[in-house]
Each structure stands twice: as structure tokens, then as C-alpha cells.
Chains A and B, each alone.
Chain A
Amino acid sequence: MLNILVCVKQVPDVNLVKMDPVTGSLIRQGVPAILNPLDANALEAAVRVKEQYGGTVTCITMGPDMAEEALRECLAAGADRAVLLSDRAFANADTLATSYVIVSAAKLLGEFDMIFCGKESLDGATGQMGSQLAERFDASQISSLSIITEVDLEHMTVTGERELEKGVELAQATLPCLFTVEKTHYRPRIPNLKSWKASRTAEITRFSSKTIPGLDPEQIGDPGSPTKVPRTYPPQVGQAGQIIDEGSTDKSIEKLLALVPELI
């Protein structure tokens, strides 16, 4: 029986975040919070492994109360158990502090053989969480996983394909292993009514900084985050180009071809 963990994140749909043209600040209001798309692929990978080899799938996230919705989405799509790590003290965490909290809590839930996460998040997009979780779990890692080809329960190894820069690698790792999952193969399933309904009322295990025994307050949230963001600013606007407007699209394109003869 494989004990499988999926680490997920609820993210703002950054493609819908707009910048206030006057103040230069970000308009986050009304931007929906969604399950990080690649995490949905990671969950699907985990659930397929469970279906083929047997086991349980736990999904875990750190975030505000509303992140519960992302966990319910995971439950609907095949996770057996969901864990929310929520505490104001966890806020402003970078990947080092986040991985510390997640792994500290996960260790309370048992020993995990396989840990899945999306290759990167839509918002932060650092792609560092997988490696740092692997480090803290003392697990092997297979990043940029496109498909798991075999889990050998006897020898406790797993084999999978990775999408690398110049080709596809077939990698084998010993369990426990952490995977960062690509979009390629594991299209998230659409839940059926039964599992969707169950997910809406399922109990979600919650931990705060106080209910995770031995959690070092110096390693969580802002104090536990070595990277800081001292300032942000609106992107510099580049050199405005020449707008070609010759009255009709037709004529504008002719003008463009005259200006950029390389096109012909």
C-alpha cells in the first residue's frame, strides 16, 4: 500500500490580474483563486498510481481558509484525505519556510513513499518547492516528470519519463521519491457526482503553528524566510514603436512590408 502525498497550492489566476493604469498597483479584486493548474496534473498522476498499485492519496496545502476550496477540488478528483495548514504565522513564507511547515506537518501523518507536486506555480513560478520538499523529506527526486512508467513495489523503485531540454530521459529512483509533474500526460479528471458531493462535505484536517509539535517559530513565515522582497515597482515601459496606420489594414501591411523588406 503506497502512501502518497500531493502538495498543492491555491493561486490567483494571474492571467486575470490587471494593473491600474493610473496608480500602477495591481488589481487583485475579483481575480478568482484557483488550484494551481500543474498541481491538478500532479494529483492526477498520484491518483492513477493509487488506482494501479493501491494506496492512499493525501493532499496538503498551506494557505488561508479559502484554500479549502482547492483541497475540495482535489478530494473530488480522487484524493482520500486533505490537510490544510493555516495560520497567520505562516504568512509571507518563501519556499524554504513553506517546505519546512509542509514537511513538519506531513511527518505527523505518516511516512510517504511518493510525493507529487506541480512543476511550478502559476503565481510565484520559482519551481523550487519540489526540490526543497524533496530535501526535507530526504527523498530522491524526479523533476519534470511526464509519465510514470512503473512502480516496483518489491524493490521500492519507480521509473518515469522526464521532459528535459534536449530530449526525454527515462529515470529510475528509489522510494521515497518526489516528483514534479508536467502538463503532458496527466490531464485532470472530471469528478463524478458521487465524489464531487463527498468532497463538498468531507472533513479537512487542519493544523496551525500550535498544533504541529516542535515547530520552530524561527523557521516559519516571515522570520523563517531568507529571501525578502524589499520593493516592487511597475515594469518600465519600453520605447514606443511606430504605429502603422494607413487607413486600411491592407495598406498598413503594404507599408509594413516596405519598412521591413526582410519579410519578403
Chain B
Amino acid sequence: MPEYNKLNSEIAGKLCAVVGERRFQLGDQVKPDYSHDEMPIYGKFMPEAVCLPETTEEVAQIMRICIENKIPVTVRGTGTGLVGGCVPVHGGIVLSTEKMNKIISYDMNNMVVHIQPGVLLCDLAADALAHGLMYPPDPGEKTATVGGNVSTNAGGMRAVKYGVTRDYVLAMTVVLPSGEVMKLGKTVCKTSSGYSLLHLMVGSEGTLGIITELTLKLIPKPIKDVSLILPFKDIATAIASVPAIKLANLDPQSIEFMERDIVDSSAAFTGNAVFPTVVNGKEAGAYILVTLVGDSEAELTMKMDRLGEVAEQVGAYDVLVVWTDSLKKDVWAARSAFLTVIEAETKLLDEMDVVVPVDRIAEFLVYTHDEAVKQGVYVRSFGHAGDGNLHIYCCSNDLEEDEFKRRVKALMDKCYAKCTEFEGQVSGEHSIGHAKKEYLRQSVGDTAYSLMGAIKNVFDPDGILNPGKVCHDI
């Protein structure tokens, strides 16, 4: 059990000297936002201070002060996480990367970009496009920082074609808990050179080191793309279509599913009723949204034809073509707003981000819905049908908070057990934080869990980096 110290005025003074008064918040000055992420149900924890460094050197200096004084350090981007990953559960300081938001340079010949970790995903995506390139990972939360995306190995809507954030991290600069600065990885595509510390850092949720610079791989942006909406009778038939769509050799960029009730909520909330609810006279109960890319309209037309055939076989009510830029913007904006919509219309909220084999998505959702009914909470779900990654939100507007937590725990215990039974993963892209630790242990088993703990101990023997997270038990 590590012993942590409280921040005294002397240490605070030293920290403040590193970043300057304007980028340092202490005690009462700390904005309440730093006490939680987007899932406040897991508790709010105020940091004793917040540092907003701008450079690797400042981060290193902060770490040296903190390790010497045994002050916990929790790294935070924009706080859009969903498992309490950036919440300082054991106090200490929050090190926010908000001010480390520079896109440093592009290397067009090698198609890489160097950035600071606090760059927002939406800013990187837009800037890359302006350079004629694409940053393929596309998580729904566009105002997350890229550093946060790397720390959680975020996936997103285009993972089915391009893979996840991990696949685009070529190199990084890391500050270790000791304050040492280390460069991991190179701007080349292959390596067979020892254990990959780089990949250990990806998805480590700020528990092993602090990422202060990133080198990311980009790709040429696709020449043409089209999105297609396939409305279905219900979620089971919608999900049943996914293997057939994947087998049709279309190499889709994304295959998303959404249930009707989230689509309705989104339309009511944003006033943007872009998904048709009645198609050819039939009420749609669920939708599959597919994006195809290609080099020419002819290629896309061929792929769309093939998708059309598949759609007919699997019982889609129709295939709607989202071709114009304005329509694409509307459709994807509606899709990206789902979580915000749920947050806005729900008083009490908890989530699961499980991954199950694609052919068992429907079964898992039906199971979850049934169990939710038994517990008296309601469920909103959407997610990445193409890779089996489901975003399931457990909601209530009338229960007391403690009662809600009790019921959701009962629900989740069953669902995560079912997920394990299906050979699934606890989290596809939202990570473990402190909220899902127990479910991680149950899913991976004690041996793997304690191996993770041992690795954590090698990097951070004093346990000052984001304590109490992932596999770190105190």
C-alpha cells in the first residue's frame, strides 16, 4: 500500500514555479470539472492542484517534484472518458494536457504527423484533411484529445476497415514517473526489435508514463465515399445482416448499428430527424449504417449494387444512399451526438463498452434488454456492429442514486459474465479506469491481472501515476 503525501504550500510553490501562475490551479481555484469525467456516477474526486504544462520538460519537472514528495499524478485530456480514467481518486494533482495542443509538423513524404497529446481529435482530423490526408481512427467523441485516444486505444467508427488508434501510433515521447524522458518507436512502419514498450504505453491509461509527444501515421484520404442506411424491422434482423455484409467483399469503412429509440431521442433533441422512421410504409426498429470508400463513382456503384443484393437477402426494408456532402454531415452528426443526447435526457447513467463476436451481438443485446427490464432500468444502445463493439447505456430518471447503482451492478454483473461466456472483452475502446477493474479481473483471470500489476510496478514502483486504475489495487 503506497503512502501518499498531501500537497503542502512548499510543494505547491515548486509546481507553480514550473508552469507559472497562469497555468496552475490550487485548492479552491481548481475548477470542479477536474473532479470527474463524463460518467460522474463513479464518484467525484477533487485534485489538490491542477498543472497545465506546455512542454515535455515541464512535465518532467512536475514528475520529479511529485515522485520526490510522493504526490499522485493523474493525467487528463479534455475529460471525455467514461470509466473515471482521468479522475484523481487518490487525490494529488491533475496534469492536464489541454495546453499541449500544438500540431507540430507534417512529414508528407512519410505521411506522418507530429503532435502534442492535447490536440483535439476533431482538430487533427480537419487539419489532416486540409493536407490531403486522413487520420483514420474516428471515435464518436470528437473533442477528446488524441493523447487520451492513445491512452485508451480508442477505436471508433472506422475501425472495421482501418483498425484502431494503436495501429497509427509510430512513436512517442514519454515522461516516466521518475521524470526521465524516453523516446519510444520510430517513424518507420516495421520493427522486430525487442519488447514493444510503445505498444505497452498505448492503452495504458496514464498508469505507466505520460505521453508528451506523438508521431502518428496518416493515409491518403479516400477519393470517394458514400454512406448507406439500411432500416430493419428490429435489432435482431439488423445485426443478423452484419456477417453477410462483411462477407460481401465490400471492405466497408464502417458498419454501425443503432436502435430506433436512440434515433428518436436524437431527432427530438437535436431537431435533426435525418433517419427516416417509416420506410416503404414500414416502421423501422433498427438501422445499420455502412460507409463505403473507393477510387471512383463506378467502383462505389458496383459495391453499392452488391450491398443492395445482400440487403434484400437479409431483409432490409430498403437501402438509402447518403451521397451529398450536406446529407453525410447530417447523418454522421446525428450518429456522433448519440451519447450527448443520452446524457442530456438521463438523470442517472452508467455504461458498458463490451466487445462480443459479431454474430452474437443481437443475442447479447436481447439478454441485456431482458435483464434491464428485470432491474427496472432502461437501456439505450448503439455501436460498431462491424467489430462487435457495443455501447450500452443503462439509464434511469426515477430511481434514487444508491438504488440505481445497486440495480445496475446486478445487471452488469450478469452482462459482463455473459460477455466472458461469449469470449468477449470488457471494453472495446472506453478502457477500464477505476470503474471496470473488477470486471477486467474476472474477464482476463487472476494470472493475467497480476501480470499487468507487475508491469505497472516496474514502471511506477511508487504507484504515483494514476493510482487505483486498470490493474492497480490499493
Could you list which residues of chain A lie within 8 angstroms of chain B, going by C-beta atoms?
13, 32, 34-35, 37, 73, 76, 187-193, 196-197, 200, 247-248, 250
Contact = CB atoms under 8 A, between A and B. Distances in A.
Contacts of A192: 318-321
Contacts of A250: 29, 31
Interface stretch (B324-332, B377-385, B440-448): B324-332
Dominant secondary structure of chain A at its interface with chain B: mixed
A190 B327 contact: yes
B174 interface: no
A76 B323 contact: yes
Contact of B325 (A34, A76, A190, A247): A34
Contacts of B308: 193
Given A34-B326, A190-B320, 12 more contacts: A37-B326, A73-B323, A73-B324, A76-B323, A190-B229, A192-B318, A193-B307, A193-B320, A196-B321, A196-B323, A248-B22, A250-B29
18 contacts: A13-B325, A35-B324, A187-B273, A187-B274, A190-B320, A190-B322, A190-B327, A191-B320, A191-B321, A193-B228, A193-B319, A193-B320, A193-B321, A196-B321, A197-B301, A197-B304, A200-B297, A200-B301
A260 to B, nearest CB: 22
B21 interface: yes
Contacts of B222: none
The 10 closest A-B pairs by CB, nearest first: A247-B22, A196-B321, A193-B319, A190-B320, A192-B318, A193-B308, A191-B321, A192-B320, A193-B321, A32-B325
A129 B273 CA distance: 29
Contacts of A197: 301, 304-305
B330 to A, nearest CB: 9
Report, as a range, how many residues of chain B touch the other chain: 20 to 34
B321 A190 contact: yes
B324 A34 contact: yes
Interface in B352-377: none
Contacts of B276: 189-190
Contacts, number: 52
A190 B320 CA distance: 6
A196 B320 CA distance: 9
Nearest to B24: A248
Nearest to A245: B22
Nearest to B227: A190
B282 to A, nearest CB: 13
A84 to B, nearest CB: 18
A76 B321 contact: yes
Interface string B315-355: 00011111111110001000000000000000000000000
A192 B320 CA distance: 4
A175 to B, nearest CB: 29
A261 B304 CA distance: 61
A23 to B, nearest CB: 20
B304 to A, nearest CB: 6
Contacts of A34: 324-326
Contacts of A191: 320-321, 323
A190 B272 CA distance: 13
A193 B304 contact: yes
Contacts of B318: 192-193
Contacts of B301: 197, 200
Nearest to A189: B276
Interface string B275-316: 010000000000000000000010001001101100000000
Contacts of A248: 22, 25
A192 B312 CA distance: 13
B176 to A, nearest CB: 30
A35 B325 CA distance: 10
A193 B323 CA distance: 10
B126 to A, nearest CB: 12
Contacts of A13: 325
A37 B329 CA distance: 13
Contacts of B305: 193, 197
A37 B325 CA distance: 12
A121 to B, nearest CB: 15
Contact of B21 (A37, A193, A247): A247
Contacts of B322: 190
Contacts of A247: 21-22
A200 B322 CA distance: 14
Contacts of B326: 34, 37
A35 B323 CA distance: 12
